[in-house]
Structure 1
Amino acid sequence: MNEIRFYRAHDDYGFLSNFAAYPFELDGKRWPTSEHYFQAMKFLNPETQNLIRSLDTPGRAAKVGRREKPLRKDWESVKDQVMFDAVLAKFTQNPDIARKLLSTGDAYLIEHTKNDSYWADGGDGSGKNRLGEVLMAVRDSLRA
């Protein structure tokens, strides 16, 4: 099976990264990246959400999102849906990258990094690669 590995926003296939700067609207607000949205949704407090949304880079959004407490109580049960919603909005509202995603055909999409074993492959294939799975599900929905 054909595989496409991605990680950094400026690399080949970087448009797949949550750090890639493709803004979208969701929940009545404009989000600079899917990373901003994902990190903000860890919290129910609108002030924390708006703080994260206003940060100038996805790296800063990730840093604040990982440091702030408390996370919403249902986070573990909703985080996959939150990611799907963000990625779907990113691709449906940015037709140029929707075409690029569709051009990946049936390739298996892999976020490749040792820094994450849930959303990525853990660097050695032992991770869950949930972001890759979300991207493939979004690709399927774009085909429909």
Structure 2
Amino acid sequence: MTIYFYKAYEPYGCFSNFSPHGITIEGTYWTTVEHYYQAQKFVGTPDAVIIPVIHAVETPEQAAALGRCHTRQVRSDWNEVKTKVMQQAVLKKFLTHADIREILLATGDRLLVENSPTDYFWGCGADQSGQNQLGKILMSVREEIRKLPLLSVAYD
């Protein structure tokens, strides 16, 4: 059976990048994966001044709005690196928070789908034809965590 997720307050909401599970990457603490992801769009660009603003906003919705502003210049390699950036952040999130790691591992081999009605890259889109890249990353992270010797013992 497929597991659909979308909003952070819904079942399996911990799979959302908007869930309140902070991460520390390269010595910097980010309130949510969404904060980190949106800020990475501007690394090395003239608009990098927005990074501390994104870091400081209270909600992931605010971070997303700042990162999606089309008047700012995103890094030239963004389309090539965005999936790797997301993979790194999602892995860090589930390695950091044991409670949600258990939820992810408990999904077994079920298909995970971000049920976004508007996002056809990260989610499945309104007509289910989207790429579901976030779901694919979560399933990849689930497999990667299973291979870690210290974490997998509890789930054998």
| Common topology (TM > 0.5) | yes
Match of 1:108 in 2: 111
Q: Which runs of 4+ in 1 moved over 4 A?
A: none
What is the distance in 2 between the residues matched to 1:47 and 1:55? 14
**1:41-52 mapped onto 2 (5 Å cutoff):** 41-45=40-44, 46-52=48-54
What is the distance in 1 between the residues matched to 2:27 and 2:126? 36
**TM-score normalised to the size of structure 2?**
0.89
* Alignment partner of 1:63 out of 47, 62, 65: 65
Where does the alignment leave 5 or more consecutive residues of structure 2 unmatched? 148-156
Where does the alignment leave 5 or more consecutive residues of structure 1 unmatched? none
Shift in Å, 1:115: 1.2
What is the distance in 2 between the residues matched to 1:21 and 1:93? 12
Shift in Å, 1:49: 1.5
Match of 2:129 in 1: 126
**TM-score normalised to the size of structure 1?**
0.96
Match of 1:87 in 2: 90
Match of 1:135 in 2: 138
Q: Which whole-Å deviations, capped at 9, do the CAs of 1:9-33 have from their partners, x for residues lacking one?
A: 0000000000000011012100100
Q: Name which structure has the greater RCO, CA cutoff 8 Å, separation 6+.
A: 1
Percent identity (aligned): 43
For this pair of structures, how many residues does the alignment match?
143
Shift in Å, 1:125: 1.3
Larger Rg: 2
Shift in Å, 1:42: 0.3
